[in-house]
């Protein structure tokens, strides 16, 4: 069934809008922020990293009960804190290396997003032209599958490594637990797109078969 | 791929049309196939023909498939 050109056009505009949003709300603030040129944001030049505190972190005894849990709240609304605790670390006076590492690790995700949008635009334009089942579309989808799987995992690894390096280089290293949680969702998404790419490859072969059929 | 391979089938639609004194436009109307597609067939640019199309052409031109399609050994 042929997809109306207006639907494809809407999808194309939406993708371009997402790409512009990624540049305006992700990449520009990063370049102009404290870790970059320092034009906007925290004037102290500190960079902010989410951290998971080590279980060695001492919680005031007044809050601690015999079983080690930290009770908080009120008598009518009891609650408790359970380790590990998360924190927001402000790294003051970062070195140029720290800034570069921070920017590269934060820019990787939006840049990956832009690459994915670029590949998707190619497929959407082929749909708009009424000719989606081509070898070019199948190639683009295969590339997209690889980009989502490898890129998504790579961005995760890069950010975890960068945060660990940034925190390890500060005095916070004594209270911060180095983290290494990875999401395998990009691999699953990449595999799903690879299946779609294979379907397009099959579709392009079928289309070539019926091309010139009278 | 088989679909892309060259073939030696020659379509003699123009000859049969001339013998019957019928135009391509008229045949297209009678058969219910676009003139563009019939033109593709007439000019040997078709890669395949549906049996339904071939049947309709044979019916309207009162001929056999062998009158329309010839294998060129050269």
Residues B61-74 have pLDDT tens digits of 999 999 999 998 87
In a domain, A57, yes or no: no
Q: Domain spans of chain B?
A: 2-71
Give bridge partners of residue A72 from the DSSP assignment: A79
Residues B24-55 have pLDDT tens digits of 999 999 999 999 999 999 998 888 899 999 99
In the predicted model, what is the mean pLDDT of residues A52-58?
Answer: 72
pLDDT band, residue A62 (cuts 50/70/90): low
Chain A's closest residue to B42, CA to CA, is A214
How far apart are the C-alpha atoms of B57 and B33, rounded to whole Å? 10
In a domain, A112, yes or no: yes
In a domain, A58, yes or no: no
Residues A150-193 have pLDDT tens digits of 999 999 999 989 998 998 888 777 777 777 778 889 999 999 99
Residue numbers in A near B4 (CB within 8 A): 208
Smallest CA-to-CA distance from A200 within A146, A117, A132 is with A132
Element holding A91 (H helix, E strand): strand A86-91
For chain A, give the mean pLDDT.
Answer: 85
Give bridge partners of residue A80 from the DSSP assignment: A71
In a domain, A69, yes or no: no
DSSP reduced 3-state for B3? helix
Pick among B47, B53, B57 to test the A interface (most A CBs inside 10 A): B47
pLDDT band, residue B2 (cuts 50/70/90): low
Instruction: State the residue range of the domain holding A23.
Output: 5-52+94-210
How far apart are the C-alpha atoms of A145 and A196, rounded to whole Å? 9
How far apart are the C-alpha atoms of B27 and B33, rounded to whole Å? 8
Flag whether pLDDT at A20 surpasses 80: yes
Considering its fold, how many domains does chain A have in total? 1
Pick among B13, B39, B42, B48 to test the A interface (most A CBs inside 10 A): B48
CA distances from residue B61 to B10, B13, B19 in whole angstroms, order as listed: 18, 10, 9
In a domain, A181, yes or no: yes
B48 at interface of A, judged by CB pairs closer than 8 A: yes
**How is domain B2-71 classified at the CATH fold level?**
434 Repressor (Amino-terminal Domain) (1.10.260)
Q: What pTM was computed for the model? A: 0.69
Question: Could you give the count of Cα atoms lying within 13 Å of A174 in the half-sphere of its Cβ?
Answer: 2
Per-position b or e across A102-121, b if 16+ CB within 10 A of its CB: bbebbbbbbbbbbebbebbb
In a domain, A101, yes or no: yes
């Amino acid at each position: 069934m042929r997809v109306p050109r207006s639907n494809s056009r809407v999808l194309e505009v939406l993708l371009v809008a997402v790409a512009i949003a990624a540049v305006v709300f992700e990449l520009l603030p990063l370049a102009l922020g404290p870790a970059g040129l320092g034009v906007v944001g925290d004037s102290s030049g500190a960079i902010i990293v989410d951290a998971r505190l080590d279980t060695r972190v001492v919680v005031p005894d007044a809050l601690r009960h015999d079983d080690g849990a930290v009770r908080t709240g009120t008598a009518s609304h009891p609650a408790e804190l359970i380790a590990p605790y998360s924190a927001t670390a402000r790294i003051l006076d970062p070195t140029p290396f720290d800034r570069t590492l921070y920017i590269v690790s934060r820019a990787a995700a939006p840049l990956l997003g832009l690459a994915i949008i670029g590949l998707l635009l190619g497929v959407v334009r082929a749909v708009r032209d009424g000719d989606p089942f081509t070898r070019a579309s199948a190639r683009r989808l295969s590339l997209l599958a690889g980009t989502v799987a490898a890129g998504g995992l790579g961005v995760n690894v890069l950010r975890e490594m960068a945060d660990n390096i940034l925190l390890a280089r500060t005095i916070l290293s004594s209270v911060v637990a180095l983290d290494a949680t990875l999401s395998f969702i990009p691999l699953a998404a990449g595999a799903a797109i690879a299946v779609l790419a294979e379907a397009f490859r099959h579709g392009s072969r079928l289309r070539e078969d019926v091309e010139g059929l009278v | 791929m088989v679909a892309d391979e060259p073939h030696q089938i020659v379509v003699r639609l123009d000859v049969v049309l001339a013998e019957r004194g019928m135009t391509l436009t008229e045949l297209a109307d009678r058969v219910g196939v676009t003139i563009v597609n019939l033109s593709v067939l007439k000019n040997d640019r078709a890669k395949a023909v549906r049996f339904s199309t071939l049947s309709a052409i044979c019916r309207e031109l009162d001929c056999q498939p062998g009158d329309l399609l010839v294998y060129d050994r050269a």
